[in-house]
Amino acid sequence: MSVMVHPSAIVDEGALIGEGCRVWHWVHICSGARIGSGCSLGQNVFVGNDVVIGNNVKVQNNVSVYDAVTLEDDVFCGPSMVFTNVYNPRSAVIRKDEYRRTLVRRGATLGANSTVVCGVTIGEYAFVGAGAVVNHDVPAYALMVGVPARQIGWMGQYGERLNLPLTGNAETVCKQTGKRYELRDSHCRLVS
């Protein structure tokens, strides 16, 4: 395997890009970025210096992954979704020493045009709907929508809504995969 980099892309010296990655038109990857294998960076993507991207991550067109953002394996960033790294930016006030870290756990989906305000953790396999604005931590497997984002359900690893209540204790089986999920004390997890 090799890395495919479109001729219009800029990859600064020192950037680490794993095998099998595809870097498309007008992408800029800064020198300190670390990108795993099998990733796809769509047209007009920016990746900052202090960024870690895991394996098999899909970053769709027009996404800027700014400093202090970590994307674990199998994360999906929809077209034109937004990360921030300063909570209260001002043009005339330098706040690079105040960057808040953002962590997107394994398998999470961030829908098109969603915004993730800095300093939050998105739980594994969570699903943030298109246009949602996330300004607080998101539990694993949570389905989030709206402005500000609020939880309306649970999503399985396959990307299908699970038949579980928002809170309490319950169990269900994913119709697509047959995998069993349980809700215990308002936390969802894959059982088998």
**Tens-digit pLDDT profile for the chain (192 aa)?**
799 999 999 999 999 999 999 999 999 999 999 999 999 999 999 999 999 999 999 999 999 999 999 999 999 999 999 999 999 999 999 999 999 999 999 999 999 999 999 999 999 999 999 999 999 999 999 999 999 999 999 999 999 999 999 999 999 999 999 999 999 998 999 999
pLDDT of residue 145: 98
Report DSSP letters for 117-131, one per residue: -TT-EEPTT-EEPTT
Tokens at 172, concatenated: 């269900």
Tokens at 181, concatenated: 């999920």
**Beta carbons of 105 and 54 less than 8 angstroms apart:** no
Q: Which of 131, 121, 161 is nearest to 143 (CA)?
A: 161
> Is the overall model pTM greater than 0.85, yes or no?
yes
The whole-angstrom distance between residue 12's C-alpha and the CA centroid of its chain comes to: 23
pLDDT of residue 50: 97
Classify residue 82 by its DSSP letter. E
Q: Which amino acid is at 11?
A: V
